[in-house]
Chains A and B, each alone.
Chain A
Amino acid sequence: MKPANANHVFRALADPTRRAIFEELTRQGEQTVHALTRYAGVSQPAVSKHLTVLKRAKLVRHRRDGRETHYRAQPDALAPMVEWLRDYGAFWRDRFDRLESLLERMD
């Protein structure tokens, strides 16, 4: 269990709007801030704030094109979370084994 590595990814995706934005980007590919604002149904400054958090967690990348900023998902950044889930999965399966042998001993 190494939650520290996964921490920033979990935190970034803890917010439902950020999760929606991230999922929209993985589904639709590159999007402008304007398009994401229409999709998310919140103000543009709010979307920009969410994008900044996602960017810090390396879950999205951006590029400037004139006055528009385009964002793109970086699904590889989910890897620490996937590893975390895998580690915890192994932990629980091990504990289930221990529970099984305890149940044998109990009356």
Chain B
Amino acid sequence: MSNPATLVVERVFPHPQEKLWRALTESPFLAQWLMNNDFVPVIGRKFQFRSEPVQNWDGVINCEVLVVDPLKQLSYTWSSMGLDFVVLWTLTPAETGTHLRMEQSGFGPDQQQAYGGAKYGWQRFFDGLDKALDGGTR
């Protein structure tokens, strides 16, 4: 059974992998584009992202480093308001720079199965729902 709660955002940046890796793993850089943090790229290390609390969200994300594969892959848990996710960053060389892929998936243990797995059933589902929501009164 695939994981319906998987979100993927990707983009090619016109910069070398090494530079992207630094932006993703050096705490002061990370703070400039993502959130304030006490991140250290060491497997098993617990850390937090913190931002201004907003309505319905306390602004705190508790994390634990899962994967540090220099220049290639970085992964950590992402827990906020009782919901647990895993964020996986993948960097691959592209003709014009570096392809960066962010995958955020839910439901913990079987998230690995969902990775690259068969999502079509749920995708079809969500497509239909999206249309329903868009066509609604909101």
Contacts and interface: CB of A to CB of B under 8 A. Distances in A.
Interface string B22-53: 11000001001110000000000000000000
Contact of A95 (B34, B108, B128): B34
Contacts of B115: none
Contacts, number: 99
Nearest to A16: B1
B11 A96 contact: yes
Interface stretch (A7-15, A45-53, A60-68): A7-15
A6 interface: yes
Interface residues of A, number: 37
A103 B102 contact: no
Interface in A60-101: 75-76, 78-79, 81-83, 85, 88-89, 92-93, 95-96, 98-101
A68 B130 CA distance: 34
Q: Sort A-B residue pairs by CB-CB distance and give the 9 closest, nearest first.
A: A98-B33, A92-B9, A99-B33, A3-B81, A2-B56, A102-B33, A3-B83, A19-B1, A14-B107
Interface of B: 1, 4-5, 7, 9, 11, 13, 15, 19-20, 22-23, 29, 32-34, 54, 56-57, 80-83, 100, 102, 104, 106-108, 110, 121-122, 125-126, 128-130, 132-133
Interface of A: 1-7, 10, 13-14, 16, 19-20, 23, 26-27, 75-76, 78-79, 81-83, 85, 88-89, 92-93, 95-96, 98-103, 106
